[in-house]
A and B are shown apart, each in its own frame.
Chain A
Amino acid sequence: MDLPVIIGISVAVLGLLAVISYYNAIIGGHNRAQRAWADVLTYERQKSKVLDGLQPHVSHYQDYEHNLMSEITRLRSAIAELPSAANGTSLVAAESATRSLLNGLRVAVEAYPDLKASEVLGNFMREITEQQENVGAAIVIFNGEVERFNNSIQMLPGSMVNDMLNRKAPIAPFTDAEASGSFNYTPNL
């Protein structure tokens, strides 16, 4: 076989291997982002289970009962509406409802000294705070994976492979509009 033919075949094989490698990397990145999203959902739902235990303890306190119950319901429905496909934007409602509930709980605890002294409620507060920390950490990890995945389909030569074969759309990372609204600074992204 002639040398130019051998070189041509070698280049073609290497090119094919590179395309396969980029194709697989995009699939792997998408799956990792999806798995990271599943973690977010798991901890959001875990939080919802903690609410089952918390509800009977706050229901005796009439003045705050209605408000807290509606916050709990709001959080539950926000968690239930979370899509199974990775999408950071859909988290906004659940995170906002969690913040409102925790604030409401703190107000109730301050208003009722015996509620404040309750060890069980303290434990529930710790548990729900811990679950919320896990949700926060899961979101950080999710956003990291989303960035990696989006880079892999938007940067050359991954973008070419994605346009031809994978046809994956970028995933929306989670951004907290409420938190960013409190800054005067807006980056020119």
Chain B
Amino acid sequence: MNEDKRLAAMIDAATEATKSAKNTADLLAIVGKFVDYKGKLRFEYKADWQAIQVFTVLAIVALAANYLGPWAILTWLAEAWGFTPSTCAWIIAGPSILFVTGTLSYIARGRHLLPELSRALALRSSRFANGLGEIGTSPEQLLVRLQQSFRDYARGNHRRQIQLALKGTFKGPLHTLTYHYVDLEYVDRHTQTYTETNSKGETVTRSRNVYDQYRRYSLVVDFPWVQGIAVRSDKQTKIDLDHTYETTSSAFNSTLTLSGTSAMACARFAKPVTVLHLLSMTARLRNPNLEFAADGAGLCLSFDDNNLIDFEMPGDLSNPGAFYKAIEAGIDLPALTTLLEAIHVLAEQHDDNFESPTPTAIQREN
């Protein structure tokens, strides 16, 4: 087996192993194979490059023989095959060009195999390092459950669907927060009227359905300290509760709408530290909404930012030693961590200092 085939086989095996990896140790075992690999960690494609050269020359010669001649060889082939010289030239050049194009795209694809595998490994590492895992239920069931507690999910009059849902745990200094990360796709349908001129030259008014597709991202956090409060910065007025409340901060009131099940609940929630904290969170996120479910289902923090679980690639498998260390240390999700820290601050502001630091969903579910 030549070097390229050996490397390709190892990448294929590693790609499959990455899909079924259950923890960081599994990922390290995969990367370890690349660390121990004796050959070069890049494809050479020697035979492919030689074939490309041969077929490129063949195509050029065949076309030159036709357009600069026809040369004698082409005339001879035309007589032998019973076609015109031009057809004979294309019979040779056509497949040659196809072969060259196909081989070049094969090489280009091969060049991406190692970076793609590295990215898949880093993605899995980011999930393991941050305690993110698959949810236990189907996305449809999860959506139904979320819609019962949070009106922020009542988006899209045509269709709504969870594209990605992960569950995780964040260990803060005082509290352990269990959460779901939800990526919701929703589609709004509206009718648009327009005018056009028909074949008789008359202007007619017609209507058509227009579908606008959106994404909304959210963290649903187990948050037993506040209930029946909504803080809104976008146009999702459905989350507003019975009593709207103006805080003492004009900056807050001009950016956010605070409402609650009672004026007292709003007043208790709108502590000065919370008002300033929410203002700073709003500055960091695009169109954030906070919905503290009245039924105790927790906090739904939704926003338009799509980079919450993005990470920076710590190099790739072309430098397997450094990549091994990065996977061993775990890939950070800085945006997610920052946001969970901000939620933890909110928890500290609203917990009871005279009760032991606690409740996690896991503990309560058990």
Residue A137 contacts which of B251, B271, B353 (CB distance < 8 angstroms)?
A: B271
Of chain A, the residue at the smallest CB distance from B270 is A39
Are B272 and A39 in contact, with the CB atoms below 8 A? Answer: yes
Bitwise interface map of A from 27 to 55 toward B, beta carbon under 8 Å scored 1, else 0: 00000100110110001000000000000
Of chain B, the residue at the smallest CB distance from A33 is B248
Are A141 and B354 in contact, with the CB atoms below 8 A? Answer: no
Chain B, 177-201, CB within 8 A of any chain A CB? none
Of chain B, the residue at the smallest CB distance from A35 is B248
Q: Contacts A123-B353, A126-B353, A127-B353: A39 and B273 contacting too (C-beta < 8 A)?
A: no
Q: Contacts A123-B354, A127-B353: A134 and B250 contacting too (C-beta < 8 A)?
A: no
Bitwise interface map of B from 19 to 41 toward A, beta carbon under 8 Å scored 1, else 0: 00000000000000000000000
Q: Does A68 contact B (CB under 8 A)?
A: no
Are B273 and A137 in contact, with the CB atoms below 8 A? Answer: yes
Q: Contacts A123-B353, A130-B349: A137 and B248 contacting too (C-beta < 8 A)?
A: no
Distance of B119 from chain A, by nearest CB (Å): 42
Q: Does A140 contact B (CB under 8 A)?
A: yes
When chains A and B are docked, how far (Å) is the Cα of A137 from the Cα of B272?
A: 5
Q: Does A74 contact B (CB under 8 A)?
A: no
Q: Contacts A35-B248, A148-B250: A141 and B275 contacting too (C-beta < 8 A)?
A: yes
Q: Does A157 contact B (CB under 8 A)?
A: no
Are B276 and A141 in contact, with the CB atoms below 8 A? Answer: yes
The binding surface of chain A is classed by DSSP as: helix
Chain A, 119-143, CB within 8 A of any chain B CB? 123-124, 126-127, 130, 133-138, 140-142
Which residues from chain A contact B255 at a C-beta distance below 8 Å? none
When chains A and B are docked, how far (Å) is the Cα of A138 from the Cα of B251?
A: 13
Q: Which of A38, A126, A127, A141 gathers most chain B CB within 10 Å?
A: A141
When chains A and B are docked, how far (Å) is the Cα of A137 from the Cα of B277?
A: 9
Which residues from chain A contact B275 at a C-beta distance below 8 Å? 137, 141
Are B271 and A145 in contact, with the CB atoms below 8 A? Answer: no
Residue A43 contacts which of B249, B250, B272, B353 (CB distance < 8 angstroms)?
A: B272
Q: Contacts A134-B271, A137-B275, A140-B276: A127 and B354 contacting too (C-beta < 8 A)?
A: yes
State how many residues of chain A have any CB contact under 8 Å with chain B: 23
Which residues from chain B contact A134 at a C-beta distance below 8 Å? 271-273
Which residues from chain B contact A15 at a C-beta distance below 8 Å? none
Chain B, 323-366, CB within 8 A of any chain A CB? 348-349, 353-354
Chain A, 138-168, CB within 8 A of any chain B CB? 138, 140-142, 144-145, 148
Q: Contacts A144-B251, A148-B250: A138 and B353 contacting too (C-beta < 8 A)?
A: no
Which residues from chain A contact B251 at a C-beta distance below 8 Å? 144
Chain B, 108-134, CB within 8 A of any chain A CB? none
When chains A and B are docked, how far (Å) is the Cα of A43 from the Cα of B271?
A: 9
Bitwise interface map of A from 102 to 133 toward B, beta carbon under 8 Å scored 1, else 0: 00000000000000000000011011001001
When chains A and B are docked, how far (Å) is the Cα of A135 from the Cα of B273?
A: 8
Which residues from chain A contact B276 at a C-beta distance below 8 Å? 137, 140-141
Which residues from chain B contact A137 at a C-beta distance below 8 Å? 271-273, 275-276
When chains A and B are docked, how far (Å) is the Cα of A142 from the Cα of B272?
A: 10
Distance of B292 from chain A, by nearest CB (Å): 19
Of chain B, the residue at the smallest CB distance from A120 is B354
Question: What are 25 residue pairs bridging A and B, where the CB atoms are less than 8 Å apart in the complex?
Answer: A32-B248, A32-B250, A35-B248, A36-B248, A39-B248, A39-B272, A123-B354, A127-B354, A130-B348, A130-B353, A133-B273, A134-B272, A134-B273, A135-B272, A136-B272, A138-B248, A138-B272, A140-B272, A140-B276, A141-B249, A141-B275, A142-B248, A144-B249, A144-B251, A145-B250
Please report B residues at the A interface, Cβ cutoff 8 Å. 248-251, 271-273, 275-276, 348-349, 353-354
6 A-B pairs with the lowest CB-CB distances in the bound complex, closest first: A137-B272, A138-B272, A36-B248, A137-B273, A127-B353, A126-B353
